[in-house]
Amino acid sequence: MGEPSMSEEKKITLSVIKADIGSLAGHHIAHPDTLAAASEVLAEAKKKGVIIDFYVTHVGDDIQLIMTHRKGVDSPEIHGLAWEAFKKAADVAKELGLYAAGQDLLSEAFSGNVRGLGPGVAEMEFVERPSEPVIIFMADKTEPGAFNLPLYRIFADPFNTAGLVIDPRMHSGFTFEIYDVMEGKAVKLNAPEELYDILALIGTPSRYVIKRVFRREDNLIAAVVSTERLNLIAGKYVGKDDPVMIVRAQHGLPAVGEVLEPFSFPHLVAGWMRGSHHGPLMPVPQRYAKCTRFDGPPRVIALGFQIKNGRLVGPADLFDDPAFDETRRLAQQIADYMRRHGPFMPHRLGPEEMEYTTLPQVLEKLKNRFYKAEEYKVKIRHSEMLTGEVHD
């Protein structure tokens, strides 16, 4: 009694916490000195035994802290550590005059959890398997819903994941936990029975975001995404919410190749320039994890690790492969095609999404310039439909 059970003892937490604390050449790339400042904080914590292991990296202007520990998800100690690392990195960013220094640290004070303070968080606690391959996806210039399509294909589409048909441990399917990020609600739906319901929601990636995926057979956690939407948290435009995702692979879960496969299609995601445009999600190796053309196009990297007793072995830079060259080429063509629309939809996001940018400030100025169009009568005005109030 009182002793932790064998499985409790072996439980490990993998935390990926990210923030944009300022970058070099506009919103382009994290400066190496900021990465070093964050690494120093984590190295000290590792020495003290607060965390078991860590890896600090970046995609574009976002810094990612990848940490293993035994303190569970939402640990104030781990979140506090991440906050301290970002603060130290932001201090360096300010010193160097980097662009938008401190951008994602919305509050001056840390209050026990980084959720709601700006950084994005993907964490999972699990019992380490004898061999534990995980893939950490990190994207820049896009939003958490960008992972909806790939996650659906990985865990619900047998045309992507052969294991759903062939491997008996996957045959009963997966549960998708989906957040309504606009209303702060969540729902769990099961694949394959509820595929159409799942799609009815996640086809609106700006609002319904897959948070976690579980294997139904034993409720084993298979994937988790950072779902923080900065604009909704801050109540004003503060950039897009460049997301991270952890996916466990192999041995009764989708194989690494099945997890990577959906990214061979550079699907359109929201983000890119000013967080206001649709563009193709381009899978790139770490060395190309920086956004240039029109502040993009949106990019994603995939780092593969093995976790052994909490130790992060790796990474393998998984998109550093000519097998994704054609995807990148197609993404360039899509980028050209979309760019030719200039400020027109569907390149520019629709009005609901633009509400969270700086466009409303521009529209506000035009408000008083409108007059009644005498020859154009509407039965019910849009504003009346929204408010239910009829006016003249």
Alpha carbon distance, N-terminus to C-terminus of the chain: 74
Quote the least distance from Cβ 239 to ligand F6R, whole Å: 5
Name the β-bridge partners of 125. 13
Among 211, 212, 240, 299, binds ligand F6R (CB under 6 A): 240
315 interface partner picked from Mg ion, ligand F6R, none, CB below 5 to 8 A per type: none
Pick the closer one to ligand F6R by CB: 79 or 347.
Answer: 347
Region from 158-166, 167-175, 268-276, 303-311 binding ligand F6R, contact rule CB under 6 A = 268-276
Q: For residues 282 and 48, what is the distance between their CA atoms, to the nearest angstrom?
A: 39
Residue 26: contacted member of ligand F6R, Mg ion, none (CB under 5 to 8 Å, by partner type): ligand F6R
Nearer to ligand F6R, 118 or 239 (CB): 239
Judged by beta carbon distances under 5 to 8 A according to partner kind, the member of Mg ion, ligand F6R, none in contact with residue 295 is ligand F6R
Whether 237 is catalytic is yes
Q: How many Å apart are CA 245 and CA 225, to the nearest integer? A: 4
Cα gap 244→68, rounded to integer Å: 16
Choose the binding region for ligand F6R from 69-77, 78-86, 270-278, 302-310 (rule: CB under 6 A). 270-278
CB 103 → ligand F6R: shortest distance, Å?
8
Q: Is 295 in the site for Mg ion (CB under 5 A)?
A: no
61 in contact with Mg ion (CB under 5 A):
yes
Residue 274 touches which of ligand F6R, Mg ion, none (CB < 5 to 8 A by kind)? ligand F6R
If one asks whether residue 62 binds Mg ion (CB under 5 A), the answer comes out as yes
Cβ atoms within 10 A of the Cβ of 217, count? 14
Options 205, 239, 280, 304; binder of ligand F6R; rule CB under 6 A: 239
Radius of gyration from C-alpha coordinates of the chain: 22
170, 215 contact by CB (below 8 A): yes
273 binds ligand F6R (CB under 6 A): yes
Out of 22, 163, 262, 275, the only residue in the binding site for ligand F6R (CB under 6 A) is: 275
Nearest residue to 137 via CA among 268, 317, 372, 297:
317
What are residue 26's phi and psi, to 5 degrees? Answer: 70, -145
Whose Cβ is closer to Mg ion: residue 50's or residue 92's?
A: 92
Q: Could you say which of ligand F6R, Mg ion, none residue 277 binds, taking C-beta under 5 to 8 angstroms by partner kind?
A: none
The yes-or-no answer on residue 240 being catalytic is yes
Does residue 27 interact with ligand F6R by CB under 6 A? Answer: yes
CA dihedral 305→308→310→311, nearest 10 degrees, is -60
Best CA proximity match to 281, nearest among 232, 338, 238: 338
Residue 141 sits in the site that holds ligand F6R (CB under 6 A): yes
Interface residue with ligand F6R among 31, 87, 229, 274 (CB under 6 A) is 274
Interaction of residue 295 with ligand F6R, rule CB under 6 A: yes
Among 26, 112, 158, 203, interactor with ligand F6R by CB under 6 A: 26
Find out whether 295 and 100 touch, Cβ atoms under 8 Å. Answer: no
Q: Is 367 designated active site?
A: no
Q: Is 58 in the site for ligand F6R (CB under 6 A)?
A: no
Residue 134 has φ and ψ, to the nearest 5°, of -130, 150
Q: Are strands 282-283 and 299-308 parallel, antiparallel or unpaired?
A: parallel
Q: Which two tokens stand for residue 341?
A: 């629309």
Alpha helices, H only, 1-138:
6-10, 32-47, 76-95
- Closest Cα to residue 281, out of 176, 137, 387? 137
3-state secondary structure 194-233: CHHHHHHHHCCCCCEEEEEEEECCCCEEEEEECCCCHHHH
Please tell me which residue in 240, 241, 242, 295 is annotated as part of the active site: 240
Least Å from the CB of residue 22 to Mg ion: 7
- Quick one: which of 119, 223, 113, 218 has its CA closest to 161? 223
Confirm if 23 and 29 have CB atoms less than 8 A apart.
yes
Work out how close the CB of 269 gets to Mg ion at its nearest, in angstroms, rounded to a whole number.
13
Task: Using CB under 6 A, list all residues that contact ligand F6R.
Answer: 26-27, 100, 141, 239-240, 273-275, 295
Task: Using CB under 5 A, list all residues that contact Mg ion.
Answer: 20, 27, 60-62, 100, 140, 242
